[in-house]
Structures are given as structure tokens and as C-alpha cells.
Amino acid sequence: MSQLVQYEITIVLNEEFNDTELKNWAFEYAQELQKLNSAEISVISRGKRELAYSINNSGKGNFIQINFTSVPKYIDIFSKNLKSDTNVLRYLVLNKN
């Protein structure tokens, strides 16, 4: 059995989300993590912020932080889902161990 690893993902979404849409989006991805046998999932909205540089003609972005524990082999699957989401401008996965 693989060892569980703590991860932190920071996701920058386009600025067009309102608060309700942002919560629904984050809830859907938290459910995806649960389907991938992740545990201790916490979602933190870091708010709308100015970007240091324009990404896809966007000057602002909604920042979401997701903390969870998972088996490393599932991170690639989750990253592919984020990469294919047109609302995601950028994301960063950090191993916290």
C-alpha cells in the first residue's frame, strides 16, 4: 500500500466567478478528490487578486487553496482534470511532506 502524502494546491481561476459559482466549482473538485480516495480535504478561498502579469488577457484571478492527503499516483489524474478546465488560469501542486 502506498503512503499518504500531504499536498497543497493553489489554483488561479478566471475573475468572472461570483461567490456562489466559486463555491460550487470548489465543491465539485473536492468531490473529485474524494473519489480519488483523498482525505482531510480543506478548501480555502483566498479571494480575487491582481495578477503580477496578464494570463489569457485577465488582469485579476480568483485564488483557491486546497489542502488534502492522497496517494501520489492520483495527483497526475487530478492535475489533468485541472489542466483541461477552461476556467483554470494556473495551478501549482506542492508536496508538504
Check whether domain 5-95 has CATH 3.30.70.60, yes or no? yes
CB atoms under 10 Å from CB of 25, counted, come to 19
Q: What are the distances in angstroms from CA 37 to CA 13, 55, 70, 79, 83?
A: 24, 32, 7, 15, 20
Using CA atoms, how far apart are residues 61 and 56, in angstroms rounded to an integer? 11
* Sequence ranges of the domains in the chain: 5-95
- Look up the pTM and report it: 0.90
Short-list 39, 50, 38, 37, CA closest to 89? 50
What tens digit of pLDDT does each residue of 13-52 get?
999 988 899 999 999 999 999 999 899 999 999 999 999 9
Structure confidence at residue 17 (pLDDT): 86
